[in-house]
Amino acid sequence: MRSAREQRYGEEADARGAASGRDVMVTAEGLPEWLSPVARAAATIEPRQLSRFLPPESGGRQSAVLILFGHGPRGPELLLMERAGTLRSHAGQPSFPGGALDPEDGDPDGPGPVRAALREAEEETGLDPSGVQVFGVLPRLYIPVSGFVVTPVLGWWRRPSPVGAVDEAETARVFTVPVADLTAPAHRVTTRHPSGHTGPAFLVENALVWGFTAGVIDRLLHYAGWEIPWDRDKAVPLDWRS
């Protein structure tokens, strides 16, 4: 049985997706067993359980990211990308594929975020969206520094396709991270910004994953029951440009 959130998105996707020729069905049916804890968590998780930064009542730029789970040589893994170091915002920072909604994506309160997440992932990484099964949509979150209202979209990479940096002016590289590395205590740290803000982070694949992306990963690991206790006093400093 689907959750209220899945049901709402799924029904709107059927109607609007058929009209536009872009299927955006959201379903958790047929997922591998190891993904079931994530699907269960996504069905019930509340905004405050994901982040203390929630969207304002009005304003903010609607956007979406694709949190794509696949299965690689070392088991379950996540798809990430590293932003180009020349960008004006979040330069060099690992992130989920994603970006702002375009008008053709449709209603931000309906299937728009799902369409945007898949479209942006294709544009940034070259993945074939027809091989992705969207199985959940998380509550909207907020990134104060950029003013983005972000809807995280959960996907299962049912049929993997080749990926890589499509536009090197925007993306430095595209890579996957085994979930085993994300849960390993040796790879977990706390970032400390000069402003005083602290947050969870991951040292994986020659990268420091921090900020919004790390925060969402941290909460998903926790509520899926995959988290392993780690030393939260192990800190990595950030500079003012971060």
Neighbouring CB atoms inside 10 A of 171's CB total: 21
* Per-residue pLDDT, 90: 55
- Mean pLDDT value across residues 166-175: 91
Mean pLDDT of 58-84: 95
Half-sphere exposure of 53 (CA within 13 A, CB side): 18
Residue 169 is predicted with a pLDDT of 84
pLDDT value at residue 239:
79
Query: Which of helix, strand or coil describes residue 36?
Result: helix
- Res. 14: pLDDT tops 60: no
CB of 187 closer than 8 Å to CB of 181: yes
pTM above 0.75, yes or no: yes
CA dihedral (187, 145, 118, 140) in degrees, to 10, reads 90
Distance CA 121, CA 130 (A): 12
C-alpha–C-alpha distance, residues 65 and 152, integer Å: 5
Per-residue pLDDT at 3: 40
pLDDT of residue 19: 32
Torsion of CA 131, 137, 140, 142, to 10 degrees: -40
**Residue 226 CB contacts under 8 Å (≥ 6 apart), including other chains:** 37, 179, 183, 220
pLDDT at 18: 33
Query: Could you tell me if residue 225 is left (phi over 0), alpha (psi between -120 and 50 degrees) or otherwise beta?
Result: left
Give the single-character DSSP code of 26. B
pLDDT band at 240 (very low <50, low <70, confident <90, very high): low
CA distance 114 to 129: 11
In 10 A of CB 100, how many CB atoms?
Answer: 14
- Four-CA torsion 16, 45, 227, 39, nearest 10 degrees: -40
pLDDT at residue 109 is higher than 50:
yes
Quick one: pLDDT band at residue 208, thresholds 50, 70, 90? very high
Report the chain's mean pLDDT, rounded to a whole number.
Answer: 89
Distance CA 148, CA 142 (A): 6
Per-residue pLDDT of 142-153, as tens digits, reads 999 889 999 999
